[in-house]
């Protein structure tokens, strides 16, 4: 069952359309990736979901409520890309302040805050925030998004500019939250993180969704899997059924045929054996999300819809 539904969402600033007709659903407990180049409309979309920006048209329903409704705010945690904190406060004081804004009882708030900070491995939590490193401050901002125990979390560049160790803590923590049933909308420029953590993805460009689905579905629609067949003999530059391999290379007595599907792999194998050789290895080659992204993002109407 969808916990977040977006229908024909649109945002126009003056004569500039930042988001044009976005529609998608997110299932409960899913990590849903939103990626795209700078200016694609990602952050505008996330801010509309969080109720921080009023859409020009279309609807968004989060946990059964319209963004901006008080009840929706209780069920949503938002981590923006830039998250200024109250630098004169300590981490625990800051988080207790926000817990009070959400009417979280004091004993519940303290337990929740320290549990989140323990899991994020944040030490020196009674230090002034202004004296903390960027990584420590980011952990405090994540804990703030959790202080009301929301069902839905929106993470916009949660690990931006952080060192690898801190980044790993945050990515692993995001996985834990998903395993516990939290629904997470996840946006990041580091596509390796998106690929490793997200159940489904939308790619945006020029304000439009240009690809969507699981990584496997997007690969199938925008590149698919190719196969390298390594052999000791040429066989034939052309396959027996008249098709040509995508590419044939020869080096150090080895011949590599790059083909598009398993029937072509079998055809190469038959041709090589007929030529007195043998196939020594077969390797699959699948495009990474980054490769698909670079290809798809260059074509704003690749999906054929707004």
Higher pLDDT, 229 or 79: 79
Query: What pLDDT score does 305 carry?
Result: 45
Q: Domain check: are 281 and 134 in the same one?
A: no
Say what angle helices 134-146 and 164-179 make with each other, to 10 degrees: 10
Domain containing residue 270: CATH number: 3.30.70
In a domain, 297, yes or no: no
Query: What pLDDT score does 78 carry?
Result: 95
Q: Which domain holds residue 195?
A: 2-220
Is residue 239 very low, low, confident or very high in pLDDT (cuts 50, 70, 90)? low
Q: Domain check: are 129 and 273 in the same one?
A: no
In a domain, 49, yes or no: yes
Q: Domain check: are 130 and 157 in the same one?
A: yes
Q: Domain check: are 83 and 164 in the same one?
A: yes
From the centroid of its chain, how far is CA 24? 14
**Which domain-ending residue is among 203, 220, 237?**
220
Q: Looking at the predicted structure, is the pLDDT value of residue 252 above 90? A: no
What's the structural domain count of the chain?
2
Which tens digits make up the pLDDT trace of 141-192? 999 999 999 999 999 999 887 888 888 888 999 999 999 999 999 999 888 8
Q: Domain check: are 144 and 276 in the same one?
A: no
How far apart are alpha carbons 194 and 3 in whole angstroms? 20
Q: Domain check: are 175 and 79 in the same one?
A: yes
Q: Domain check: are 86 and 212 in the same one?
A: yes
In a domain, 303, yes or no: no
**Which domain-ending residue is among 197, 220, 243?**
220
In a domain, 296, yes or no: no
Q: Looking at the predicted structure, is the pLDDT value of residue 303 above 50? A: no
In a domain, 15, yes or no: yes
Q: Domain check: are 31 and 174 in the same one?
A: yes
CB 281, CB 240: distance < 8 Å: no
How far apart are alpha carbons 247 and 268 in whole angstroms? 12
**Which domain-ending residue is among 169, 204, 220?**
220
In a domain, 96, yes or no: yes
Q: Domain check: are 126 and 261 in the same one?
A: no
How far apart are alpha carbons 205 and 41 in whole angstroms? 7
Q: Domain check: are 81 and 181 in the same one?
A: yes
How far apart are alpha carbons 129 and 122 in whole angstroms? 12
Which tens digits make up the pLDDT trace of 35-91? 998 889 999 999 999 999 999 999 999 988 988 788 888 899 999 998 889 999 999
Domain containing residue 157: CATH number: 3.40.50.300
Of these ranges, 105-109, 229-233, 274-278, the one predicted with the greatest mean pLDDT is 105-109
Q: Domain check: are 70 and 101 in the same one?
A: yes
In a domain, 139, yes or no: yes
Is residue 304 very low, low, confident or very high in pLDDT (cuts 50, 70, 90)? very low
Q: Domain check: are 66 and 215 in the same one?
A: yes
DSSP string computed for the chain = -EEEEEEEEEEEETTEEEEEEEEEEEETT-EEEEE-STTSSHHHHHHHHTTSS--SEEEEEETTB-TT-HHHHHTEEEE-SS----TTSBHHHHHHHHHHHTT--HHHHHHHHHHHHHHTT---TTSBGGGS-HHHHHHHHHHHHHTT--SEEEEESTTTT--HHHHHHHHHHHHHHHHTT-EEEEE-S-HHHHHHH-SEEEEEETTEEEEEE-HHHHHHHTT--EEEEEESS---SS-TTS---SEEEEETTEEEEEESSHHHHHHHHHHHHHTT--EEEEEEE---HHHHHHHHTT-TTTTS--
In a domain, 75, yes or no: yes
């Amino acid at each position: 069952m969808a916990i977040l539904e977006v229908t024909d969402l649109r945002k126009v600033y003056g004569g500039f359309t930042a988001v044009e007709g976005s529609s998608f659903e997110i299932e409960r407990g899913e990590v849903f990736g939103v990626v795209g180049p700078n200016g694609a409309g990602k952050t505008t979309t996330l801010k509309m979901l969080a109720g921080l920006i009023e859409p020009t048209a279309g609807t968004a329903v989060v946990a059964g409520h319209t963004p901006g409704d008080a009840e929706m705010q209780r069920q949503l945690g938002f981590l923006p890309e830039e998250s200024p904190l109250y630098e004169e406060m300590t981490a625990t004081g800051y988080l207790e302040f926000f817990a009070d804004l959400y009417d979280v009882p004091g004993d519940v708030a303290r337990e929740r805050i320290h549990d989140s900070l323990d899991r994020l491995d944040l030490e020196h939590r009674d230090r002034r925030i202004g004296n903390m490193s960027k990584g420590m401050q980011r952990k405090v901002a994540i804990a703030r998004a959790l202080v009301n125990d929301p069902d839905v979390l929106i993470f916009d560049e949660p690990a931006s500019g952080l060192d690898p160790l801190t980044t790993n803590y945050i990515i692993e923590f995001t996985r834990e939250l998903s395993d516990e049933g939290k629904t997470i909308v996840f946006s990041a420029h580091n596509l390796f993180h998106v690929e490793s953590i997200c159940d489904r993805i939308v790619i945006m460009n020029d304000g439009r969704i240009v690809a969507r689905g699981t990584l496997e579905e997007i690969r199938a629609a925008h590149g698919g899997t190719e196969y390298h067949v390594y052999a000791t003999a040429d066989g034939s530059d052309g396959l027996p059924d008249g098709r040509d391999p995508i590419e044939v290379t020869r080096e150090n007595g080895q011949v590599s045929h790059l083909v598009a599907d398993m029937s072509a792999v079998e055809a190469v194998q038959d041709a090589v054996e007929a030529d007195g050789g043998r196939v020594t290895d077969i390797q699959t080659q699948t495009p990474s999300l980054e490769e698909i992204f670079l290809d798809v993002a260059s074509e704003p109407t690749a999906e054929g819809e707004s």
